[in-house]
Structure 1
Amino acid sequence: MSVWDRGGRIVVRLAILYLVCRLATFAFFILAATLAEEGSRFGAAPAVSDMLLGWDAQWYWFLAVHGYPAELPLTDAGQVAENQWAFMPVYAYLAGALAPLFGGSWGAAAVIISLLSGFGATYVLYRILRPRIGPSAAYWGAGFFAAGPLSALFVLGYAEALFLLWLFLALWAVTTRRYVWVYPLVILMGYTRPGVLAFALFLGLFGIWRFFSRRTEPLRTPEIIHIVALGALATVVGFSWQVIAAVVTGDPGAYLATELAWRRNWLINDEGVFVPFDAFVQGAAFWGQTWGWGSVGGVIVLVVVLVGIAAALLWAPQVRALGPEIRLWAVSYLVYLLAVFFPQSSIFRLLVPLSPLWGAFAVPRSLAWRAGVLVVCLAGQWWWIYNMYALGNRFWQIP
C-alpha cells in the first residue's frame, strides 16, 4: 500500500469535511450579521470581519500592537483593571509576525492561523481516536469536532484553535510514547493560553496509571524520567507567567489581580482574592440565585453535575473506549477548571479542550445517531454565534 493510500486519502477527506464545516460557519456569521440590530454588541448589520475580530480578539490585537504594560492600569476605585497580562503572547505575536504576508493586516493573519490550526487539530484528533475506536468512528468524531457548537473559534481571532493544535499533538505524542516531542509542545501550550497546569496534572495521573499498568506494558527507566521531567516542565511553565508579570510590573500579584478583574464584572462585591475552587462554588451560588434556585440549590446542581460527569468518565463504555489517556486528560482539565475558573458564559469556550471526548459520541455505529449528533452540533454552533455575536447584549452572551 502506498503512502498516499495510507494517509493521503484521509487528509483529503478531512480537508473536505473541514472546509464544508467552515463554509457553514461563515454562512452562520453572515446570517448573524444580517439579524443583528442596533442594540446588539456590534450594532446593526455589522461587517463579518468586525465580528470575527471582536471580543477577546481585540485584546490580542492590542497586545500585538502595544505589548504588555509595565505599570498595571487601575480603575477609578484603585483596583487593577482589565489588561493584556491575561493573554499569553504566542498567538498575538505570531499573527503580528505574519501580518506582512497579508498586507499588514493583523486580523487576516490571526484568522488564517485559526483556520489552519483548526484543521491541524481536526486531523490530529482523528489520529488520536483511530487506534481506539476505528477509522470510521474516528472520522465521525473529528467531524463532530469540526462542526461542533464552538467550532466558530476556528475562524475567530482567538488563541483557542492554536492551543488545541499544540494540546492534541501533545496528547498524540503521549499516547504513542513519543515523549521527546512533548517538551516543545508544553512550552508552546503554556504561552499560547492558560491550561498547561492541567496538562501537568494529566502527566502526574498518567505516570501513576503507567505504574499500575506496568505488567501489561513495561515501564522502563527512560519513560519514567520523561514523565517526571515533562510534569516538572509543565508545572514550571504554568507558574512562570505569574513570575514574568511580577518582574515586569513590580507587582507580585499582577497576573492574578488581572484575571480577577474580569470576575468583578460578575461579582460586584468580590474581595479580589484567589482561593482554589472557591470561584466555582461562588459561581454555582450566583447562577442558582439568578435562575431562582437559591444559592444552596445552585451548589447542589453543581455537585449533581460533577457526580454525573465523574460517573460517565469512569463507567460509560463509549468513554472507556477512548482509552485511559483521554479520560485522564478530561479529569485533569475539569479539576483545573474547578480550581481556577469562575463559571459564566465563557464556560462553553473553556470546555473546548475536552474535545477528544467527541469520539465517545461517534462510537455508536447507527448512521441515524451519528447524523443526529452532527445536526445538534451545527444547531449548537448557530445558537452560539447568534447569541454571542448577533446579540451579545446580555451578561450571559459573552463568548
Structure 2
Amino acid sequence: MADGGVTLRHRAREIPVALRVAILYLLARLITTGFIALAAGLSGPASRFGADATVSELLMGWDAQWYWSIVTQGYPTDLPVDLAGDVQQNQWAFMPVYPVLANLVGLPLGSYAAGAFLVPVVAGYLACLVLYRLLRDRLDETATMWAVLLFAAGPLAAMFHLGYAEALFLLWLFLALRCLQRRRFGWLYLLIPLMGYTRPGVLAFALLLGLYGIWRWFRRRRDPLPVREIVHIIALGLIAVIVGFSWQVIAGIVTGDMSAYLDTELSWRRGWLSAEESGFVPFAGFVQAAGMWFRLWGMPSALGYAALAVCVGAVAWLLLSERHVRRLGVVVRLWSASYIVYLLAVFFPQSSIFRLLLPLSPLYGALAAPRSTWWRVAMLVLGLAGQWWWIYSMLAQGNAYTQIP
C-alpha cells in the first residue's frame, strides 16, 4: 500500500508543472464559481445588487464599475465635488492598465465584461505558475504545490473572477519578485511601470529595492555586489519612486489641480472621519481606524490602539524570527515588510483591508511549509470557509460601509 502511494506521487510529479497547477487552479475556480452563484441566489432586497442578482452582476459590481467607467467615459477633467466643495469619488483612484487590457480582450467578444472576467482568470493562473517558481527554490515540491493551492483557493480567491485589477497586479508583482530573486534586473524596467499603472503599491516595491540594496551591501564580502548590480538597484528604485508619484502628477495636469489624486483617494475615507481628521498624515490612518472601529464596536479606543500595537509586533516577529517564514528567503520577507509598512503609511483600514493584503500571498509558502498533511488540509478548509464568508458578506449582503469588497 505504501509502495502504491509512493508510485502514485511519483507519477503525479511526472506531469508537467503547468498542467498540475492548471488542474488545481481549475478545481479552485469551479468551487469559487459555485460560491458566487450561491451568493447571487442569496442576494436579498437590502443588498447592493438587490433580489434575484445574477452572477455577472456580482462580478461587475463595486470597483469593477469604476474600471468600466474608465473605458466608457475616461478620466474626468473636472473633479466632481459636493455642495461643500469636497472632491467626490471618481475614476482617478484607479489605474488604466487593467481596464485597457480588459477592453482589448473583450472587443472581439463584443463585451467589456467578458474581457474584465477573462483577464483576472488568466492572470490568476499565470500568477500561480510564477508563485510556484518563486517558492520552489525554498520549499520541497509537495509544500510548494500546497502553497499554490492555498493561494488559488484562499479567502480572496474571488479576485480571480471579479472585474478588479488585483489578479493582474499579482502577476506583475510575482514576476518582479522572481526577477529580483534571480537577479534578472533588466525585466524590472518593464514590470515596475506595469505594476505602477495597474494599481497602487509600487512605492512598496521601491522600499523593497532600497532594503534589498542595503542587505546586499552588508553581504558583499560573502556575496559579491558588482557595480553593474548597484547601478540597476539604484536606477530601478528611482524609477519605482517616479512611477509611484507620477499618477498624482498626471491627474494634476489633466484636471489642473495637483491635489486631484490625493483628494480623490481621501474621498473614500471622508465618510468615516471628521473634516479635521480626514486629511492625509502618513501612518495616521491605522491609528485613527483602530480607535474608531473599537468605539463602533462598543469598546474603548485605547483597546484598539493596544490591539494595533500587538498586531504590528506580531507581524514583525513573524517576518524576523518565525522559522517557516525565514525559509521563504530574503526577497519574500523584505517584500512583505515593505508592503506592510506601505499599508501602514497610506491606508485607512476598512472592509477592503482583506483585499489589500493579497500582495502578501507569497507568505502562503510559510503556511504550507509544515510537513503535516492534517495542517495543510486544515489551512485549505479554513481558506475555503473564509472565501465563502467573504463572498457572502461582500457580494450577497454588501450594502454598507462595513461590507465593501
Tell me whether the two structures share a fold, i.e. TM-score over 0.5.
yes
> Where in structure 2 are the equivalents of 1:106-185 lying within 5 Å?
106-185=112-191
Instruction: Give the secondary-structure state (helix, strand or coil) at the position aligned to 2:116.
Output: helix
What's the counterpart of residue 88 of structure 1? Answer: 95
Q: 2:30 aligns with which of 17, 23, 27?
A: 23
* Partner deviation per Cα, 1:67-120 (whole Å, 9 max, x = no partner): 1111111112211011000000100111122221212x1111011000000001
Aligned residue in 1 for 2:77: 70
Aligned to 1:313: 319
- Per the alignment, in what secondary structure is the counterpart of residue 229 of structure 1? helix
RMSD across aligned positions (CA): 1.3
The ranges of structure 1 where at least 4 consecutive aligned residues each deviate by more than 3 angstroms after the TM superposition are: 5-8, 268-272
The yes-or-no answer on 1:327 pairing with 2:333 is yes
1:386 is the counterpart of 2:400? no
> How far 1:304 sits from its partner (Å)?
0.6
Residue 7 of structure 1: how far off its partner (Å): 9.3
- The aligned counterpart of 1:51 is 58
Give the superposition deviation at 1:252: 1.2
Residue of structure 2 equivalent to 1:186? 192
Cα deviation per residue 1:311-362 (whole Å; 9 max; x = unaligned)? 0111100100000110000000000000000011000000000000000001
Give the AA of the match of 1:282.
Q
8 Å contact kept, 2:120–2:165: yes
Deviation digits for residues 261-320 of structure 1, max 9, x if unmatched? 011122244554211111111111111211222222111110011001100111100100
Please give the residue correspondences for 1:277-292 in structure 2 after superposition, counting only pairs within 5 Å: 277-292=283-298
Matched, 1:336 2:342: yes
Question: Partner letter of residue 175 of structure 2?
Answer: L
What's the TM-score, normalizing by structure 2?
Answer: 0.95
Within 5 Å, which residues of 2 pair with 1:329-368? 329-368=335-374
Contact preservation (8 Å) 1:257, 1:272? no
Are 2:104 and 1:97 equivalent residues in the alignment? yes
Distance, in Å, in 2 between the alignment partners of 1:117 and 1:95 is 11
2:44 pairs with one of 37, 44, 55: 37
Deviation track 1:335-392 (CA, whole Å, cap 9, x = no partner) reads 0000000011000000000000000001001111111111111111000000000101
Q: For residues 327 and 304 of structure 1, do their structure 2 counterparts lie closer, same or farther at Cα, with a shift above 3 Å needed? A: same
| SS of alignment partner, residue 262 of structure 1 | coil
TM-score (norm 1): 0.97
In 1: Cα distance, 2:388 partner to 2:238 partner: 41
How far apart in 1 are the matches of 2:381 and 2:249? 45
Given residue 353 of structure 1, which amino acid in structure 2 is its aligned partner? P
Deviation at 1:39, TM superposition (A): 1.1
Q: Distance in 2 between matches of 1:137 and 1:18?
A: 16
Contact 1:72 1:254 in 2 (8 A): yes
Q: Is the 8 A contact 2:48 2:397 kept in 1?
A: yes
Give yes or no for the alignment of 1:226 onto 2:232: yes
Task: Output the amino acid matched with 1:30.
Answer: A
Number of equivalent positions: 394
| 8 A Cα contact 2:96 2:198, kept in partner | yes
Contact 2:102-2:115 at 8 Å conserved across structures: yes
Partner of 1:196: 202
In structure 1, give the amino acid aligned to 2:44.
E
Matches of 2:293 and 2:35, distance apart in 1: 29
Give structure 2 stretches of 5+ with no counterpart.
Answer: 1-11
Structure 1's 7 and 263: CA in aligned 2 closer, same or farther, altered over 3 A?
farther
Task: Please give the secondary structure, in 2, of the residue aligned with 1:396.
Answer: helix
Residues 247 and 261, structure 2, Cα contact 8 Å, conserved in 1: yes
1:371 to 367, 377, 395: 377
For residues 175-195 of structure 1, the C-alpha deviation after alignment (integer angstroms, 9 at most, x for no partner) is 011010111000000000000
Aligned pairs for 1:289-304 (under 5 A) are: 289-304=295-310
How far apart in 1 are the matches of 2:395 and 2:64? 13
Change in 2 beyond 3 A, CA 1:201/1:151: same
User: How big is the shift at 1:6?
Assistant: 9.4
Give deviations 1:229-274, integer Å, cap 9, x for gaps. Answer: 1000000000000100111111010000000001112224455421
Q: Secondary structure at the match of 2:224?
A: coil
For residues 106-146 of structure 1, the C-alpha deviation after alignment (integer angstroms, 9 at most, x for no partner) is 11101100000000111100100000012211111111000
Post-superposition offset of 1:223: 0.8
1:264 aligns with 2:270: yes
**Which residue of 1 is the match for residue 251 of structure 2?**
245
Per-residue Cα deviation, 1:166-211 (whole angstroms, up to 9, x for no partner): 0000000000110101110000000000000000000000111111
- Match of 1:133, SS? coil
Structure 2: which amino acid aligns with 1:27?
G
In the other structure, the counterpart of 2:211 is 205
Q: Is the 8 A contact 1:202 1:329 kept in 2?
A: yes
Q: Give aligned-pair identity as a percent.
A: 58
Unaligned residue ranges in structure 1 (runs of 5+): none
- Residue 45 of structure 1: how far off its partner (Å): 2.1
Deviations 1:40-87 (A, max 9, x none): 121112010000000000000001111111111111221101100000
Q: Which has the higher mean CA deviation after the structures are superposed, 6-15 or 48-57?
A: 6-15
